[in-house]
Amino acid sequence: MQGIVGVFRELDATVDAVHALKKLRAGNIDIYTPAPRHELEHILTHRASIVRLYTLIGGLAGATFGYWIPIWISDYWPLVVGGKPVPSWVPYTIISFELMVLIGSLATVAGLFITARIPRITMTVGYDERFSNANFGVWVECPPDKQADVTETLKQHGATEVRGER
């Protein structure tokens, strides 16, 4: 896994550079940015995040579990309290709701971790401390023969620093 990383100070410069690189068809492009910016999101046209699926499934599972547990246990120990039905679904709705939220949220987080591939034990190549501070980074994964052009393009669009990584 080798490629070129370019460090930018300005947002629009980054945008231009990515556009140029896309024309160049040099290889996979990834962008590092201190804060999410819609421009960058739009340039790299990915599918929408699938985290919502985890949320949906988690929520449904939680709700079901939240009904099943109390009803099962009420039938296990059929003791009448206050002349109420032994398994009474109305109060159990609250349990169900809370478990829906709980398991749903945890599933969402799990979804984030899996889709965004965290936690990471080590940093990937091409990352630079500046990217979490104020600078934008463009990572191009490209074979050696393309590296010259990529470097050129990045410099051209105002990269303050361009370096190869492997």
- The residues with which 61 forms a beta bridge, in sequence order, are none
Residue type, 28: N
Q: CB-based contacts of 21: which residues, under 8 Å, 6+ apart?
A: 29, 138, 140, 150, 153, 154
Minimum Å distance from CB 143 to another protein? 18
Please select the residue that binds another protein; options are 24, 27, 60, 130, rule is CB under 8 A. Answer: 130
Residue number, 142 or 157, with CB nearest to another protein: 157
User: Of residues 25, 81, 145, 166, which one binds another protein by CB under 8 A?
Assistant: 81
> Which of 3, 17, 11 minimizes the C-alpha distance to 36?
11
**Which residue from 57, 64, 127, 146 is in contact with another protein, where contact means CB under 8 A?**
127
Give the footprint of another protein on residues 82-101 (CB under 8 A).
82-86, 88, 91-92, 94-95, 97-99, 101
How many residues of this chain interact with another protein, rule: CB under 8 A? 84
**Integer Cα distance of 147 and 57 in angstroms:** 44
**Residue 83 DSSP code:** T
CB of 58 to another protein, least distance (A): 10
Does 27 contact another protein by CB under 8 A? no
Residue 80 touches another protein, criterion: CB under 8 A: yes
Let me know: does 5 contact 126? Beta carbons within 8 Å: yes
C-alpha span between 115 and 30 (Å, rounded): 15
The token duo for 139 is 């990572």
**Per-residue binder mask for another protein (CB under 8 A), 48-67, x = binder:** xx-xx--x---x--------
Q: How far is the CB of 153 from another protein (least distance, A)?
A: 10
